[in-house]
Structure 1
Amino acid sequence: MISVIVPLYNKELFVAQTIHSVLNQTFDHFEILVINDGSTDSSLEVVSTIKDERLRIISIENSGVSVARNTGIEHAKYDWIAFLDADDWWAPTFISDIKKAMNNFTNQFIFATGRSRVFNKETERYSHTFLPENGATEALNYFQIISKYLPPINSSNVVIHKNLFHENGYFKEGQLKHEDHDLWLRLCIENEVIFINKPLSFYRKTEADSASNSHYNASDFLLYLNTIKGVYDQLSETNKHYLKMYANRFTALTYLKNYKNYTSVERDTLNPFLNFFCEGNYRSAIRISRTLPFSIYPFLKLLQLKWKKER
């Protein structure tokens, strides 16, 4: 029924909880594929102590999370693919609630549940104006959601039909950041997201491992912007509007945060995307930043409050 893919790299403290959260599901027709991505700690040994015929371990040389996830897709024996990062976990009814939604939305191919970010001292549940009521299940327009806030999908709350990967591509290997967002954009060009608004997926979040705190290299940025532009060209006018709202904000803020680390050649390569996607206050901020010897990113939180009406 469902192949659960767990990419594993040095998560010895958490991976047992992750796997047991799947083994303890109320619906038991699944397999777990742990893709050991060249772990150098005792992660592999921890997984090897868990004995269950539904669990398979595939070890590869360290190649990055995209290669690990793609390896799992290629080895999956079921048509439905779920992803679960090796430090995240599911509530016991995650799969059974997905299965119920599949029975009610038989012509859909992307299913996701509510998710919660778990910090050291608090848990924050994902919320959005466009989500269904608490406990309800509805079809969502992915592009409408991201025009206002974070996407409804992450790498631990989604189940996708395998055919969509054949039609729209896999995770981009070598892409270090936003490799998941890159894929969701491509998969949602012609597909809605069936969203079950229950807190069923839990995402461990710490300041130390937050991708938002790390430098976004120009090559990764360019890869993602190329995907955004390619997707934009295939959308209806309504969804083009939504995607441009997202791209306006994302492109400008990401550039302003990182551009001091880019070479002049890299900036020139990014300019066509800035000119296409960035408008209004965001475009003005980029123009002003080019005249200053320092980065204006530390002031962006204040500016975002001022620009909130654009969102």
Structure 2
Amino acid sequence: MNSGSNVTVVIPCFNDGEYIMEAVNSVLNQTLKPEKIIIVDDGSDTHTKHILGGINDDSVEVVYQDNSGVCKARNVAIDLAKTDYILTLDADDYFEPTFIEKAVAILSQDSHVGIVGCFYRRLVSGKIQNEVVKPLGGGVSNFLVKNNGLGCSLFRKKCWEEVSGYDENMRKGYEDWDFWISILKNGWQMHIKEEPLFLYRKSKSSRDENAFLNHDVELRDYLFKKHRQVFMDNFEAFASQIIYSNSKLKQTQLKIKNSIDYRLGNLILRPFRLVKHIFKSQK
């Protein structure tokens, strides 16, 4: 492509044949083109392999591996990259056309910034939601209680090298959160471009949702133990964020309990609960 952008785009792909071309085209249509797009097929089905085999563009390279997870796929592609900047993109998401141009400008101008993300919108059932999600970014103290970044972001390859890549043990999720903490604790900053330049596709089988519902405690415990010193060094910020999060959770629970739907539901269920109580007492 020879665009002079100094960017390689890395796209892990697992059974995403339905969406992969939309992701690739969003990169090919950037106002500042990447030098290379490396797609790592992570043991996909026949349909997806057929789609990938039909890509006819000299700037796109497809690498095949047995199913080993997104971290392995990203590490393989980044290791092959010959540029200073890496942009990760999931195969079912896509960027608006100006993201690379704007993100590269930020990295070029500020040597303290290691990562550039942006605001984003969700894509649900094919419809772009009006709500703009606004990650905070910043330094490592902003990442102690939640992932305040965007998984699909532009970063310096040397940041990846400093932390020995993505942690391939994190196959159940939260690998982006861990990766950002690993980089930011070395003194780098994450800059968030305050424009919705990314579309995140929310699917029924979302990997992020599965991680939260089924592995949240396990993964948070792993993060804490791995980065224990970071949490200790930033204990006051960590405690303040925990207190704030707990307060917001209680406020949300109170709003739900006071809502008309909740009270109406209790009213409808009251006779059934009475019958259940009587039945138990007669046993």
- Common topology (TM > 0.5): yes
Closer/same/farther in 2, CA of residues 122 and 24 from structure 1, 3 Å limit: closer
- Matched residue, 2:198: 201
Equivalent residue number for residue 302 of structure 1 = 253
* 1:55-102 deviation line (CA, Å, top 9, x unaligned): 111101100111111111111111111100000001111111112222
SS in 1 for 2:11: strand
The answer to whether the 8 A contact 1:12-1:41 is kept is: no
Runs of 4+ displaced beyond 3 Å? 144-147, 217-222, 243-250, 303-306
Q: Is the contact made by 2:27 and 2:34 (CA closer than 8 Å) also made in structure 1?
A: no
Q: What is the DSSP-based 3-state SS (H/G/I as helix, E as strand, rest coil) of the residue aligned with 1:185? A: helix
How far off its partner does 1:144 sit? Answer: 3.3
User: What is the one-letter code of the residue matched to 1:192?
Assistant: Q
Cα deviation 1:124-158 (Å, max 9, x = unaligned) = 31136xx5xxxxxxx833533766x651x2222x1
TM-score, normalization: structure 1?
0.70
Cα distance in 1 between the residues matched to 2:50 and 2:174: 30
Instruction: Give distance in 2, aligned partners of 1:81 and 1:32.
Output: 10
User: What is the TM-score normalised by the length of structure 2?
Assistant: 0.76
The count of corresponding residues between Structure 1 and Structure 2 is 246
Does the aligned pair in 1 maintain the 2:93–2:199 contact within 8 Å?
yes
Q: State yes or no: 1:182 paired with 2:188.
A: no
**3-state DSSP class of the match of 1:5?**
strand
Cross-structure match for 1:277: none
Question: Percent identity between the aligned chains?
Answer: 24
Residue 229 (structure 1) aligned with residue 224 (structure 2) = no
User: Based on CA coordinates, which of the two structures has the bigger radius of gyration?
Assistant: 2
Q: Is the 8 A contact 1:26 1:96 kept in 2?
A: yes
Q: Which residue of 1 aligns with 2:168?
A: 173
- SS of aligned partner of 1:3: strand
> Please, which of 192, 208, 212 is the counterpart of residue 211 of structure 1?
208
> Could you say what secondary structure the match of 2:121 adopts?
strand
1:198–1:145 distance in 2 versus 1, CA, 3 Å: farther
Report the CA distance between 1:117 and its aligned residue: 1.8
Range with bigger deviation, 206-215 or 80-89 = 206-215
Q: Decide whether aligned partners of structure 1 residues 142 and 107 sit closer, same or farther in structure 2, where only a CA change above 3 A counts.
A: closer
Cα drift, residue 249 of structure 1? 7.8
Q: CA RMSD in A?
A: 3.0
Q: 1:246 to 1:21 in 2, by over 3 A?
A: same
Structure 1 pair 2–122 and aligned structure 2 pair: CA distance change class (3 A)? closer
Task: Report if the CA contact (8 A) 1:64-1:174 is conserved.
Answer: no
Q: Does 1:126 align with 2:152?
A: no
Contact 1:115 1:125 in 2 (8 A): yes
Contact 1:186/1:231, CA 8 A, preserved across alignment: no
Q: Which has the higher mean CA deviation after the structures are superposed, 208-217 or 48-57?
A: 208-217
In 2: Cα distance, 1:249 partner to 1:174 partner: 30
Distance change >3 Å, CA 218–CA 105, structure 1 → 2? closer
Q: How big is the shift at 1:300?
A: 9.9
